[in-house]
Amino acid sequence: MTQAVRDGYAEQFYPRTEDLGPDEMRITALGTGRPFLRRSQANASWLIELGNGDKFVFDFGYGSQMNFTALEIPYQRITAWFATHLHTDHVGDFGQVWVGSWAGGRLKPLEVYGPSSNKPEYGFAHFIEHQMESFRWDTDSRVSALPAIGAEVNCHEFDYSKVHVIYDENGVKITSFPAVHIYDGPVSLKLEWKGRSFVYSGDTTPSEFMLENAKGVEVLVHETFNTVDQLMVRSGYDERSARAIGTMIHSAPAEAAYVVNQCDPKLFVAYHFFNDFDTVGEMETAIREHWKGRLAMATDFMVVNVTDEHIIVREAVVSDHVWPAKDEHEGFGDAPRKERLPMSEWLRERQVFPKF
């Protein structure tokens, strides 16, 4: 009998079949890969669900929303979305987060949080404003058919340079602290609730900020890029580029493990690498140079349940053919719309009305 079964959990996680305990946290990997998008791994994204009903998404890179919808969670139930920085593999699915959740039944403004930078044009508010402007035709053409409130976005830009609480509601505290990643702006995030604790690194090289803010955390998801050799052999990078990308821009396996060892979490989840049968062994060997504790090598749909008694790591079993949950659309038909955009008369006159 597996550990998961012994502790009262099914061996695999099936969406919409398990209620969380009052003090329980569930973390699901929606995207674990690198900037290059592939079918087996979406770009970075993590879902955190709490026993009080709150649900948060940390990062929403390209492809992650297909994995989110596979979990059959109504968009209406997501409390807020948080971005660690503005690389597309961490925020590229904003259009789907915004419009997809609207079409999928969201009947409240979208709540999104993200960091500033040392220049306004590099900050999260600038990103959201111009993303929304770029989708102007899309959204203006929908507000007569979809509830108008779904087009609304509440953008909360916070100071990237400080260690400070950026969210404090319903007993949940989310803290942002700086991450060292290429340029000013990136952050890491820490969630605390009823004794539960979770830290998500976003992208970072080893830094004192992580050592100071992740010490003793229950679950630490820390970026762990493919090895320099793997980047050279498998990605075709020259050695200089491979070392720059793998050790200066990102954390190499041994570097991540060095930091994690000093933080001493109950579970270290390594992510942001291509997890293949012929890469994961070398990655784990490098990690074990510094980290001897519990380790999970992230894959999309990895599920981690955390309680006072245990930390269970499983995989979710999902369908490729989900529809929006019916309970998402309660009140959908009665919600106010806006006036439809008038189509040009010459175009409207060419419309055909079949008589059936």
Distance CA 114, CA 355 (A): 52
What is the model's pTM?
Answer: 0.96
Distance CA 250, CA 243 (A): 9
Question: Could you tell me what percent of the chain has a pLDDT over 70?
Answer: 98
pLDDT score for 21: 96
Calculate the average pLDDT of the chain: 96
Residues 27/57, Cβ–Cβ less than 8 Å: no
Distance CA 198, CA 27 (A): 9
pLDDT score for 93: 98
Question: Could you tell me what percent of the chain has a pLDDT over 90?
Answer: 94
CATH of the domain at 121: 3.60.15.10
In a domain, 16, yes or no: no
pLDDT score for 155: 98
pLDDT score for 236: 95
Distance CA 165, CA 231 (A): 37
Q: Is the pLDDT of residue 6 over 60?
A: no
pLDDT score for 3: 59
> How many alpha carbons lie under 13 Å from residue 47 in its C-beta half-sphere?
28
In a domain, 93, yes or no: yes
- For residues 253-277, average pLDDT: 98
- Number of domains the chain is built from: 1
Domain span at residue 303 reads 21-348
Q: Is the pLDDT of residue 101 over 80?
A: yes
In a domain, 104, yes or no: yes
pLDDT score for 355: 84
Distance CA 58, CA 173 (A): 14
**pLDDT tens-digit map of 248-257:** 999 999 999 9
pLDDT score for 1: 44
Distance CA 127, CA 305 (A): 33
- For residues 102-113, average pLDDT: 96
In a domain, 333, yes or no: yes
Q: Is the pLDDT of residue 59 over 80?
A: yes
In a domain, 356, yes or no: no
**pLDDT tens-digit map of 213-233:** 999 999 999 999 999 999 999
In a domain, 13, yes or no: no
Give φ, ψ of 222 to 5 degrees: -120, 130
Can you list the alpha helix ranges (DSSP code H) found in the chain?
3-6, 64-70, 88-91, 94-95, 101-103, 124-134, 136-140, 208-213, 228-233, 239-243, 253-263, 280-287, 345-348
pLDDT score for 145: 94
pLDDT score for 324: 85
In a domain, 230, yes or no: yes
Closest C-alpha to 209, from 234, 232, 181, 228: 181
